[in-house]
Amino acid sequence: MTIQLVVGLGNPGPEYEKTRHNAGVWFINELASRYNISLRPEKKYAGLYGKGYIGEHLVHLLIPTTFMNRSGQAVAPLANFYKIAVEDILVAHDELDIPPGVCKIKKGGGHGGHNGLRDIIARMANNKDFYRLRIGIDHPGHKDRVTGHVLGRAPQQEQQLIEQAIDEASRCFEIWMKDDLKKAQNRLHSFKAQ
């Protein structure tokens, strides 16, 4: 079992680039720079797309250039074109229920109110069996503050924790590709940026 497609969720445009909701995009950018994979605009997948080898496996990288709530418009055409099964997809996204500095890998589950996941599930014929890399951004404490929180920038110290966790997640992704998921999860799930 190897991941063939890694998707990083976020919103397009410079005003969103550094907002917490773009944590998934930061993960793809980290993988792309670490493995020398260039990402280019690709109209038919509505995103920035590139492919290259991680471990011995060819991996497709995608950053949808749609808005978050339309992420599936980018993911579904690419997965269909390359005949990539839902369970061979990893979607990296910001996660309110996890503190900054922590990332978790999980398979399947609902969308938990995340509009990017909601749209992907809807466009993949309601199949929820893709993997998720949940990048902790913390919860602002009240549901009325969530939108401002995810669309806001993290304070510098918090941002550094998120970046350290993303760095660790990219190392663990390589372990997953070379060895197995369990080994990658054990290492990633015991990591907490300081």
Catalytic positions: 21
Residues 6+ apart with CB under 8 A from 129: 86, 87, 107, 108
Residue with token string 């839902």: 86
Give the separation between CA 62 and CA 33, rounded to whole angstroms. Answer: 14
Measured CA to CA, the distance from residue 192 to residue 188 in angstroms comes to: 8
CA distance linking residue 72 with residue 56, whole number of Å: 28
Q: Using CA atoms, how far apart are residues 144 and 13, in angstroms rounded to an integer?
A: 24
